[in-house]
Amino acid sequence: MPYWGDNYRLSVAPMMDWTDRHCRFFHRLIAPKARLYTEMITTGAILHGDLHRLLDFSEEEHPVAIQLGGSEPDALAASARQAAQWGYDEINLNCGCPSERVQRGAFGACLMREPDLVADCIKAMQDAVSIPVTVKHRIGVDDQGDYGFVQEFVGKLFQVGCRVFFVHARSAILKGLSPKENREIPPLRMAVVRQLKRDFPEAVFVANGGIQTVEQAQELMTPSADGPAVDGVMIGRAAYHDPWLLHALSAALVLPASPMPINREAILAPLQSYFETQRAKGISARFMTRHWHGLFHGQPGARRWRREICEGTLGPQALFDQLVAEFHPQ
């Protein structure tokens, strides 16, 4: 089994209603080597829905992975096969989402209580495709927060050949907390991720949850008294609200160093070209530009940029040129 750790040093988390193809294209311009993930897509949607709407992506997005939601091995295998044929680089199984909708479907975080079933799901997908099959999970569910619970879960999957684990270092509270509260209230326990790496050194462990700075990421990827370094970090909402954080993380973490845009302005021309191409296909401007509002986070004029870009009447380069002309007339 190859070691994939270097491929997982920096990832952007799958986020419902956020990490669609337009968001991913934008993130790819900023971070050329980060791994990008789709929103969670259920097996039912793939097996019975519009595949072009669900699965299409731009070639520039590679490496790009699909995250699946489901709990039936046969359905997951069939969905994984479709995703592999569509050209995705990885299949990721969602075992971490705590939303009520996901619970009603008997998947997401509640699957952690059924490690044998998850192992069957992983094995079925591995048998169906040749690309990596990975899992994203929590460190506990409700009152099952002891280390032995997550250790057994990971161990079952390791036995069937799963080697890459994205660990949101919080427990999932399935009753009483909203998905947003589940990202904030249960305490972060990154030491658990390090302990998993110590116990399963041949596996790749990517830490997720509350990472908002380069310093936090570097600390997690350095051995400490709590245990060995993790193999990578997965950034969630921070990458959406302050996308340029991905640029700083790429420069600090991704090896070998990849060609990087020199500044924010450098990505505007390709983003404008993408915008115009998609508009010609009938895609709503606002459907795209809503993802780009944070590009100038913390910079002079950021508030004006956010307001104007979300209106969607101009593409990013055209808007930037207009704002420069207003504030710096010749």
Residue 258 lies in a domain: no
Do 152 and 112 lie in one domain? The reply is yes
Regarding whether 288 and 188 lie in a shared domain, the answer is no
Q: What is the pLDDT along the chain (330 residues), one digit of tens a residue?
A: 455 557 899 999 999 999 999 999 999 999 999 999 999 999 999 999 999 999 999 999 999 999 999 999 999 999 999 999 999 999 999 999 888 766 666 778 999 999 999 999 999 999 999 999 999 999 999 999 899 999 999 999 999 999 999 999 999 998 888 888 988 899 999 999 999 999 999 999 999 999 999 999 999 999 999 999 999 999 999 999 999 999 999 999 986 656 789 999 999 999 999 999 999 999 999 999 999 999 999 998 899 999 999 998 889 999 999 988 876 544
Clarify whether residues 98 and 240 are in a common domain: yes
Are 66 and 162 in a shared domain? yes
**Do residue 206 and residue 106 come from a single domain?**
yes
| Residues 6 or more apart whose Cβ sits within 8 Å of residue 243 | 26, 27, 30, 292, 294, 295, 297
Angstrom distance (rounded) from CA 228 to CA 195: 8
Confidence at residue 258, expressed as pLDDT on a 0 to 100 scale: 65
pLDDT (0 to 100) of residue 330: 43
Which CATH number is 186's domain given?
3.20.20.70
187 lies in a domain? yes
User: How many structural domains is the chain composed of?
Assistant: 2
pLDDT the model gives residue 107 = 78
249, 269: one domain? no
Indicate if 234 and 291 belong to the same structural domain: no
Residues 249 and 268 in one domain: no
Q: Note whether 85 and 229 are same-domain residues.
A: yes
| pLDDT score for 1 | 43
pLDDT, position 5 = 59
CA pair distance 39, 47, nearest whole angstrom: 16
Which pLDDT value is given to residue 324?
Answer: 86
- Do 245 and 274 fall into the same domain? no
Q: Which residues are catalytic?
A: 97
What string of DSSP letters covers 48-85? HS-HHHHH---GGG-SEEEEEE---HHHHHHHHHHHHH
Are 179 and 48 found together in one domain?
A: yes
Structure tokens belonging to residue 135: 């899992």
Domain that holds residue 283: 264-327
User: Are 208 and 111 part of one and the same domain?
Assistant: yes
CB 232 within 8 A of CB 207: yes
Q: Is residue 259 part of a domain?
A: no
